[in-house]
Each structure stands twice: as structure tokens, then as C-alpha cells.
Amino acid sequence: MSNFKFTRRNFLQISGLSGTSLLLGGCGIPIGEGLVGVVSQPLNEKVETLIFKPQTLVPEFSTKDIEPEGLIVNSFRGNPTIDPANYRLVIDGEVNNPLNISMADIQQLQLTSMIIRHVCVEGWATIVQWGGVRLRDIVALASPKENVKFAYFESADGYYSSWDIASATHPQTLLAYQKNGEALPRENGAPLRLASAVKLGYKQSKWITRITLVSQLSRYKGYWEDMGYEWFAGI
């Protein structure tokens, strides 16, 4: 895993295509307004997708490596309280079978567990066990159209982000409802959050309520991304 990180980061540094210089600043416009804006594709996406291996597994850790207190809670607009009994996840956009599903529906799907390193752009990292459903299984249920290339994620606190579809459907990208073998705490994104071995922490949205699959990105790509953070944000 360390060799893969080294190769990616050094390649991007050498090519001059990494970091905030590639992205224009923004104002954090909610996703609903952004989807009708001017379409643009991040420049670094073209480069980083050449390096990214969509089905290659990232090495995982053992249970003895888990750091139970290591995950720092970063709040965007506080920690929303969502009643799991009334929770619904909407999957829409360029799909043949739009979904509006409950936590009970989600928990009927196969449970996948992984122990991975969560890496924050602020310079800290910790090893966490996540449990949930593979995002690719949810995407498959929605039957995306052939031209879908990206996924937008909208959260209950107003946070939003977007991913390339290859990373979203990576086998180690989960919609997680468990943390370290227990129910996901509210402050960590309950009832449902993104957890992935292939993205930095700010891409792993919490309190997800909507996933929109699209063939093109709008001018608004994510809360932090629109303020200059790297869009692809792979590790």
C-alpha cells in the first residue's frame, strides 16, 4: 500500500497536477443548485484515473490494529439527529430504477466489514473497522445508465461531495452503518456514511441522504472541493 501511495503522490507532484492550483475557489452552493450549472470536469481527474486501479484491493489490517479512539470528529454544521426508523436513502439521477429505501432495506443486503486506515487531509490517520453495504451493490440496484461517470453525495447537514464512479464502486467503498463492530455513532455519521480505502477523509460524507448518479459534473463539485481542495483526493 505504501508503494502505491508513493507512486501516486510523486507522479502528481512531478507532473504539476496535484493540489489546489488545479481548482477554482467556490462558495459551497447546495447540490440542488449546482446540477443545473456550467459543466466542467476536474483536470486532475484525467490524470489520477490513469493511476487508479478500480478493482485492486488495498491491504487491510487486523483487529488488534484498530485504534478505537483515533477517529477525530469533524463537524460541518453540527451533528444532525436522524431517526433510523424514518430514514430514507434516495438514489436518483441518470438511472433506470430510482430508489427510495429504508435502513431496514439496506441492512437486508450483504454486510461487508473492512479494517482500513482513515486518512485526513489535516495530517492525521487512524485505523478503523467499518461495516456496511458495498456502495456498488446499491448502485447496481438503481441500474445506472451506461454513460454514468460520477456520483454526487448529499448529506443531512447540507454537506455535499462528488466522486468518480470507479472509486464509488470500488469493492472497499462502503455505505457504513457500523464502526468497530458496533452501531455507527451519530457523531460519526449515523445512520449511514461513506467509508472507503481509496479516498481521503473529506470525501467520506456522513449522514448521507441522497446519491445522484450523473454523466457529467456541474460547476459545483463538493463543499471543500469548491474552495480549492483536490477533487479526486485518492490515497
Give the pLDDT score at 31. Answer: 38
Structural domain contains residue 171: yes
Task: Indicate whether 107 belongs to any domain.
Answer: yes
Q: Which band of pLDDT confidence, cut at 50, 70 and 90, is reported for residue 148?
A: very high
User: Per the domain annotation, does 109 fall within a domain?
Assistant: yes
Q: Assess if residue 235 is contained within a domain.
A: no
Model pLDDT for residues 17-29, shown as the tens digit of each residue: 333 322 222 223 3
Q: What is the mean pLDDT of the chain?
A: 83
**Reported confidence tier of residue 5, pLDDT bands at 50, 70, 90:** very low
Mean pLDDT within 204-214: 98
Mind giving me the DSSP string for the chain?
-HHHHHHHHHHHHHHT--SGGGS-------HHHHTTS-----HHHHHHHHH--TTPPPP---GGG--TT------SS------TTT-EEEEEESBSS-EEEEHHHHHTSPPEEEEEEEE-TTS-EEEEEEEEEEHHHHHHHH-B-TT--EEEEEETTS-EEEEEHHHHTSTTEEEEEEETTEEPPGGGTTT-EEEESSB-GGGS-SSEEEEEEESS--S---TTGGGT--SS-B-
Q: In this predicted structure, what is the pLDDT of residue 77?
A: 81
- Summarize pLDDT for 40-92 with one digit per residue, the tens: 445 556 666 667 677 789 999 999 999 999 998 877 788 999 999 999 999 99
Does residue 234 lie within any of the structural domains? no
pLDDT digits over 121-135, tens only? Answer: 999 999 999 999 999
Residue 203, domain member (yes or no): yes
Residue with the larger pLDDT of the pair 73 and 212: 212
| 130-147 average pLDDT score | 98
In a domain, 187, yes or no: yes
Range of the domain at 180: 2-71+80-227
The CATH number of the domain holding residue 30 is 3.90.420.10
Mean pLDDT, range 103-108, rounded to an integer = 97
Query: What is the number of domains present in the chain?
Result: 1
Question: Looking at the domain assignment, is residue 233 inside a domain?
Answer: no
pLDDT number for residue 225? 94
